[in-house]
Amino acid sequence: MVKCQDVMQAMERIAPRRLAEAWDNPGLLIGSPADEVRKILVALDVREETIEQAIEDGCDLIVAHHPLIFRGVKAVRTDDATGRKIARLIRADIAVFAAHTNLDSAAGGVNDVLAGRLGLVSPVSLVEGAADGEPGLGRIGELPAPLSLDDFAAFVKTHLELSALRVVCAGRHAVHRVALCGGSGAEFIGRAAAKGADVYVTGDVKYHDAERAVGLGIHVLDAGHFATEQPIVASLAARLANALGKAVEIVAETRSSDFFQIY
């Protein structure tokens, strides 16, 4: 019999809580460590469609990347989107666990999976960990061979299964050294440039972020928040299955897609 506590311990080994940023809210957000777990749904977000799949598939626990609850909750009102989801989960007796920035930083986490998708050789942390020797946010590494910016953008588009992506061209230089940060990582453009990256891949890039990148001479690919993090879902499901064995069934969420559509 697998308890929620067993899953929490497995997740602590995969993404230690000490790696989370101070502002973050990872961990068990709904439910009890003593809850019995027979089936787990791994997801990027806890959306309405995620909850629907969890209920239909008979899941007892959702393990998500993005926390459903970020700040203190003073009321659980069902006319509010978050309150409605919390109430529905409690009624369905489904627990929720989140691993957010700790899973971003962890070895084998969001950024290592993204680096693998993009073919980086021997990637290392872009941002140093809080303690010596521990991984931090983002990754930086090299491609096996240089590519033009156009060819690299096409490569990223294919390997992240994108219909489109935004490209900031900062000159005529080729792409060899690549920095990345899954999700929203525009704050590290300067760090990527300082570490000699030719291009930076992330999501949620704003106009003035692009202007800064051009001034620093570093190309930027905005591949979107969803696409740069979604690859972790299947990877995390496989790692949890390996950690917990056959005593619990684990499935990856399949109903969510990027909120942004290209027309």
First to last CA, the chain: 49
Q: Give the pLDDT confidence of 199-210 residue by residue, as tens digits.
A: 999 999 999 999
Task: Give per-residue pLDDT as tens, 38-64.
Answer: 999 999 999 999 999 999 999 999 999
Tell me, what DSSP letter sits at residue 144? E
Q: 173 with 150: CB under 8 angstroms?
A: no
Mean pLDDT of 15-43: 97
Going from the C-alpha of 6 to that of each of 26, 29, 36, 94, the distances in angstroms are 16, 16, 10, 16
Is the pTM of the predicted complex or chain greater than 0.75? Answer: yes
| CA angle, 53 then 57 then 63, to 5° | 65
Count of CB atoms within 10 A of residue 145's CB? 8
- Structure confidence by residue, pLDDT tens digits, 230-246: 999 999 999 999 999 99
Nearest CA-CA partner of 253 in 42, 66, 2: 42
Assigned token pair, 179 = 């920095």
